[in-house]
Structure 1
Amino acid sequence: MPTSGSRDTDFIAKLRQIVEEEISNEQFGVSELADRIGMSRSNLLRKVSKASGVSVSQFIRNIRLENAAEMLRNESYTVSEVSYKVGFSSVSYFIKCFREHYGYPPGSIAEHEPELQEEVAETSHEVQEKTRKIPIWILPVAVVVLVAAAIYFFILPGEDQQNKPQSIAVLPFINDSNDSSNVYIINGIMESTLNKLQGIENLRVISRTSVEKYRHNPKTIPEIAKELNVNYVVEGSGQKAGDRILLNIQLIEAGTDNYLLSRQYERTTEDIFALQSDIARNIAEEIEVIITPEEQKRIEKAPTENLEAYDEFLKGLEILNNTADPEELKKAIPHFHAAIRLDNTFARAYAATAITYYVVEVNLAERQFADSINYYADKALFYDSELPQSLISKALVYMAHHEYELAVPYFEKALEYNPSYDLVLYFMVDLYANYLPDTEKYLEYALRGLQVDPAAYDSVTNSFNYLHIANAFIQSGFQDQALKYINKSLDYNPDNLYSEYVKAYIVYAGNRDMDQLRESLKRALDKDRNRLDIAQELAKICYYQHDYQAAYEYYQLYLAIKNAVGMDVYPQEDAKIAYTCLQLGKKEEADRFLESYKTFSENTDSAYKNLNLCMYYALTGNTEQAYSYLELFAQEQQFHYWTVLFLPLEPPFQELRKVRGYKRTVSKIENNFNAFHENLKASLKEKHLI
């Protein structure tokens, strides 16, 4: 029977023969090789990696370079001629690849060949001499060690790497034409390339808003890649002349600044959809990300067969992508309507119309276009139910009618089809932060959003984005991660007092130093004495330290600011204010806050309702009733880390702590939180978010 090794050798030889038959075809890549050998693309990637220790694209490139070297040795071709004969459309890229492969440029091969031959001969002689001195029993052991090393260095890392998504940024394409009116076409091709790549599950694609800031930015590719935390960067430039489109696309490996792909595309406008698909496919092939058949189908799908309709759509999209002013946004709608008139099955145009109507009124209490959003969203879904924009537009129908839970499945389905879609992630973060509060889901979508949208905003906005993520982390018990993100928040905006006092609490979670926490909050309040949030936080810490006089003074400052601005916030603090007043003999004042707290506790509907009622009955001396509500709270599975940290410190629980079973109940609360924390950690790790 043939051995596995001989089968691999035959397989590699067959691949080499196919590649050499297509050696001058610059379009011949991974997919074409998979088709010729009769294998799926993903199986080919795995088998070549295992058999040769290199990627498929590197395997093809090496064969091209080896054939080039042979031509340069034995033929009278120039470097430029050889470049084209072995499938390199760019001579400079060929020279770069040749130098990296052989260590010298192709033009000096004659100078280096004798040296190489001497080196080979010397090495061969040295090996023979050393082999004579090696005991015969060492050789089998050496073989085992070498095989193990090969598995470790070539096979295992390859498999592990397949589980980690690749990452890429598609920089804004440059319009090379003197006619600025063609910008929307070049931008449209860039947008389409980005959208098609976003539809690949195993590829993290940076959002358009994040890359847009680099349109006129002089930073180098390694600098941009570091800021965006990506493996690859795509640059593009092009122009439209008559019915011809000329594009130059470069794919650059961020770590080495090496060009993996440098290709010129020239097509007619009639081939614009095939052009967009080819660009996305060539990029995906070069970085060897696995594309499922369903993803491939979506990449190749044309949005419309009517080029005039598509042209109108791109004009509207240019407005939608580049303005936030509602009146300016309305100018996109006539273009989308024109696209629909030209093709009444154009799902993307229907969806864009619905999204535009929603965004125009996003900050208004009453919506005039709610019915229009519904009409165009339904049309979009009817003509393409798998289009992410169709699903988003339908979700926005429910958002417009405040039916937030009904929006969720549509957003989630859109993410299935387009895992890196920043617009969906933005809406999901907003949903779980403000309308359907859920720390776990908020954290998941905020982190996913940060992966694809790391540099889209100004420093102040980024500071608050990192603040929210840090706060969600610490609420879930992740002290190290919370500290990392709160420091990023303060790096963006050192004057962000929210971040300053949240950091004080994060540090306390690590060292439990109440005096340090109090001093940090005092410094923050001294910077702005009108901050009622910091005043009540400082009062709360004094309360936990049993310094009731200081707590009362800070609570008075908090109440004065609260009344002056007419805000109804922090109703849960009334319990602590009542207890503080009782300790200072201010019973009448305490009763007023206690009654207010009772009303809040009975009418609130949250995970903390039973804990709030426990606090109320502890304050009124009904220990038995207080304990019964504490036991009910112990059934909760999801609550903030602050509960675990500060519940044992509550001064009103002095009598409650004497109840038999109190320690067991508190231990159960802590265990429930720890289980939630561990489950969340496992979930975030599985999704490569921590």
Structure 2
Amino acid sequence: MPNSRSDKNDFIEKITLIIEENISNEQFGVSELADAIGMSRSNLLRKVKKHTDLSVSQFIRNIRLTLAKELLEDTSYTVSEISYKVGFGSPSYFIKCFGDLYGYPPGETTKMEQEEVATEVPEIKSVKTKGWLKWTLIGLLVIVFGYLISISGVFESETSTAAKTKPAKKSIAVLPFINDSNDSSNVYFINGLMESTLNNLQKIEDLRVISRTSVEKYRRNLITTPEIAKELDVTYLIEGSGQKIGNQILLNIQLIEAATDNHLWSKQYKNSTEDVFSLQAEVAKNIAEEIQVIITPEEVHRIEKKPTNDLVAYDLFLQGLDLLNKPTPENLEKSIPLFSKAIQQDQEFARAYAAIAIAYYLLDEGKAEKEFSDSINYYSDQAMFYDSKLPQSLIAKALFYMEHYEYELAVPYFEKSLEVSPNNDLVLVFLVDLYVNHLPNSEKYLEYALKGLEVDIVAAYDSATASYSYLHISNAFIQAGFVDEAEKYIDRSLEYFPGNLYSEYLKAYILYAKNKDLNELKDLLLATFDKDKSRLDILQEVAKAYYYLGDYQTSYIYYKKFTELREAYNLEIYNSENAKIAYVFDRVGEKELSEKYLEKFKSDADNMQSIYKHYNLAIYYSFKGETEKAIDHLKLFSEEDNFHFWTILFTPIEPLVENVKKHPDYKKVFSLLEKKFRQNHKRIEASLNAKGLL
């Protein structure tokens, strides 16, 4: 352990010194640090996260800010001068970041320092180290201490209050642009201008930007601006119209205060097609300036970066993109040759390579046998080679790993793409899917589902889609133990689509979590089952309710029907219920069938890769009466993290664990599980509050 701690300190000191040497270079970021220390970007991200619980960009920013604090205390430089000296190209962004870290603006540093002198720890005065490094290490200790406080819940009420009073981000929706030209063949170009405006605004972290799919329904929708604003829950709307005549572009942009329908600003842009990229960047920056959101130097750089220098290639790309944005199999197949022609014009066109990889992935999605794996690999690698910081390149590479079921390898690419394009709805969709279906994690599932809800507004979709979106969020909340929030979102789900039986029976369980009334749970599940008796999922839920009530004869009737139908249709579903089925069959005298289902449960548990492996083995050995083995597996399970609320809720009434409950260590182990869940719940609550999601 001492060597491990020494390695950690050496690593932190080494990268700190590298950052200090490049402190005034505002372009010095994650990739530059990785190159300087001779590590891959992913290894650097993992190592910094492990040692500091910060992203690399946060770590670099905090190094800059700790030096800035020292300069503010010891010199007569102005705030603006210091912001440039420590690598902030924008003084306003420097002031924001400084305030976020220290809790007061940089101009009050001297005053705050004087007020803190009386309480200063003597040992800190005697530290003999380079000034910048000293303040960096102190800053990191403050951050780590703050993190420990957040997960311990010591100042829970103060943290929650502060988070709830934090002002919401400004929000905007870019409505579909109108083609003013009589030439309908130019529609793809006008759509491309709208897409570029949206993509550029999505790169601004200080702004909530509604997804393209959410606004598409308003292309031909004649409802009023305030009505659109209410549906999308936004502060501002952008309306645009334009035409392309020869080599000339005429674009009209209007900024509207959504709630009042007040036109705050409008501008007409007249540019040649040769200036299309500067036009796109100018539009986004003008909008951001008008609504007074903070754009970091990195964000300005991303907005101004040209995707290609070849206008023919770009025109071909826009034609392909228009098809890719309407991803039917036919459109996807038509888009690929257009992107390929764009690459022939410009062999370094990263966005075109990425678009082909994404199109191939969508064509392969859902197929048992993948047809385009090699193509996805080639085009995603080419996209990364020519621009590894482009969001679409990172998405394409992540999709390559998704194609090969290497989900953990996909995560860093999705997360990095979200760093450079914080409002990217496509990335959020994939991350929710990952953390629900492939890498179960209630915290991540909940975080990305809520972020997705901010930019991909369910009200813009049909009622059924909206209902299932709210169902997902309710499910994420209840898994993490947020009962009231889960009930709120499940009620919304049922408001949109009362016929959503998934939501109906999830609500039954949420109400059980609230009221602890098993008879109410049983009655609600029976009422749901009566609405569709072909539903095997609800059938086994009804059987389970009777099982928990101890009515094994009635439970047997439902479980027997469930197992017969499952086998008749050769379905491998709800295998985790086999232990309960075995228990019920045993209680009604069906010993042979009981043993069959119990051994199937044991086989599945032995081969299980999820965190519930040892919990299921504890259940098995408890049922068999082997309590020592059962408690050993329960102890191993208690070392896991991110287990669901249902584990804590139902284990105390679980008939399968009756034998292990007699073991003298059981209460201690279960108390540890409860404590760990409560701590995890508080940590998630603090994290969501800090991110403005709760």
> TM-score, normalised on structure 1?
0.75
Query: What is the match of residue 250 of structure 2?
Result: 246
CA separation of 1:334 and 1:625: change in aligned 2, threshold 3 A: closer
SS in 2 for 1:330: helix
Q: Unaligned stretches of 5+ in structure 2?
A: 1-82, 97-160
Query: What is the match of residue 443 of structure 2?
Result: 440
CA separation of 1:655 and 1:392: change in aligned 2, threshold 3 A: closer
From 324, 328, 345, give the equivalent of 1:325: 328
Correspondence list, 1:623-642, <5 A:
623-642=627-646
SS in 1 for 2:289: helix
Query: What is the match of residue 378 of structure 2?
Result: 375
CA separation of 1:638 and 1:158: change in aligned 2, threshold 3 A: closer
Conserved in 2, the CA contact under 8 Å of 1:236 and 1:248?
Answer: yes
Quote the Cα distance in structure 1 between the aligned partners of 2:400 and 2:244.
37
Query: What is the match of residue 422 of structure 2?
Result: 419
Conserved in 2, the CA contact under 8 Å of 1:530 and 1:561?
Answer: no
Measured after TM superposition, the shift of residue 511 of structure 1 is: 0.9
Correspondence list, 1:291-690, <5 A:
291-322=295-326, 324-455=327-458, 457-690=461-694
Quote the Cα distance in structure 1 between the aligned partners of 2:311 and 2:186.
15
Quote the Cα distance in structure 1 between the aligned partners of 2:252 and 2:441.
45
> Partner letter of residue 384 of structure 2?
L
Conserved in 1, the CA contact under 8 Å of 2:93 and 2:294?
Answer: no
Query: What is the match of residue 57 of structure 1?
Result: none
Measured after TM superposition, the shift of residue 400 of structure 1 is: 2.1
Quote the Cα distance in structure 1 between the aligned partners of 2:466 and 2:639.
37
From 42, 48, 54, give the equivalent of 2:92: 42
Measured after TM superposition, the shift of residue 158 of structure 1 is: 14
User: What do residues 476-502 of structure 1 show as CA deviations (whole Å, max 9, x unaligned)?
Assistant: 101111112211221222111111100
> Partner letter of residue 415 of structure 1?
L
> Partner letter of residue 523 of structure 1?
A
CA separation of 1:613 and 1:164: change in aligned 2, threshold 3 A: same
Quote the Cα distance in structure 1 between the aligned partners of 2:244 and 2:209.
26
From 260, 264, 272, give the equivalent of 2:264: 260
Quote the Cα distance in structure 2 between the aligned partners of 1:566 and 1:682.
45
Correspondence list, 1:60-209, <5 A:
164-209=168-213
Conserved in 2, the CA contact under 8 Å of 1:483 and 1:503?
Answer: yes
Correspondence list, 1:225-240, <5 A:
225-240=229-244
Of structures 1 and 2, the one with the larger relative CO (CA 8 A, separation 6+) is 2
CA separation of 1:652 and 1:438: change in aligned 2, threshold 3 A: closer
Query: What is the match of residue 280 of structure 1?
Result: 284
Measured after TM superposition, the shift of residue 192 of structure 1 is: 0.3
Correspondence list, 1:210-229, <5 A:
210-229=214-233
Measured after TM superposition, the shift of residue 162 of structure 1 is: 8.4
CA separation of 1:372 and 1:574: change in aligned 2, threshold 3 A: closer
Q: Over the residues paired in the alignment, what is the CA RMSD in angstroms?
A: 2.6
SS in 2 for 1:302: coil
Quote the Cα distance in structure 1 between the aligned partners of 2:665 and 2:353.
62
Measured after TM superposition, the shift of residue 326 of structure 1 is: 1.6
CA separation of 1:171 and 1:541: change in aligned 2, threshold 3 A: same
CA separation of 1:587 and 1:374: change in aligned 2, threshold 3 A: closer
Measured after TM superposition, the shift of residue 595 of structure 1 is: 2.4
Identity over the aligned pairs, expressed in percent?
58
SS in 2 for 1:537: helix
Measured after TM superposition, the shift of residue 44 of structure 1 is: 10
Measured after TM superposition, the shift of residue 197 of structure 1 is: 0.4
> Partner letter of residue 620 of structure 1?
K
> TM-score, normalised on structure 2?
0.75
Measured after TM superposition, the shift of residue 168 of structure 1 is: 0.9
Quote the Cα distance in structure 1 between the aligned partners of 2:163 and 2:428.
29
Measured after TM superposition, the shift of residue 220 of structure 1 is: 1.4
> Partner letter of residue 482 of structure 1?
A
SS in 1 for 2:641: coil
Quote the Cα distance in structure 2 between the aligned partners of 1:612 and 1:378.
41
Shifted more, 336-345 versus 192-201: the winner is 336-345
Quote the Cα distance in structure 2 between the aligned partners of 1:39 and 1:535.
62
Conserved in 1, the CA contact under 8 Å of 2:441 and 2:642?
Answer: no
Quote the Cα distance in structure 2 between the aligned partners of 1:325 and 1:645.
44
User: What do residues 566-586 of structure 1 show as CA deviations (whole Å, max 9, x unaligned)?
Assistant: 211122222222222232233
CA separation of 1:576 and 1:451: change in aligned 2, threshold 3 A: same
Measured after TM superposition, the shift of residue 308 of structure 1 is: 1.5
| Structure whose alpha-carbon radius of gyration is higher | 1
Measured after TM superposition, the shift of residue 542 of structure 1 is: 0.8
CA separation of 1:529 and 1:160: change in aligned 2, threshold 3 A: closer
* Count of aligned pairs between the two proteins: 546
Conserved in 1, the CA contact under 8 Å of 2:529 and 2:539?
Answer: yes
CA separation of 1:179 and 1:158: change in aligned 2, threshold 3 A: farther
Conserved in 2, the CA contact under 8 Å of 1:303 and 1:348?
Answer: yes
Conserved in 2, the CA contact under 8 Å of 1:607 and 1:636?
Answer: yes
Conserved in 2, the CA contact under 8 Å of 1:614 and 1:628?
Answer: yes
CA separation of 1:477 and 1:180: change in aligned 2, threshold 3 A: same
SS in 2 for 1:214: helix
SS in 1 for 2:325: helix
CA separation of 1:495 and 1:165: change in aligned 2, threshold 3 A: same
CA separation of 1:159 and 1:678: change in aligned 2, threshold 3 A: closer
> Partner letter of residue 505 of structure 1?
Y
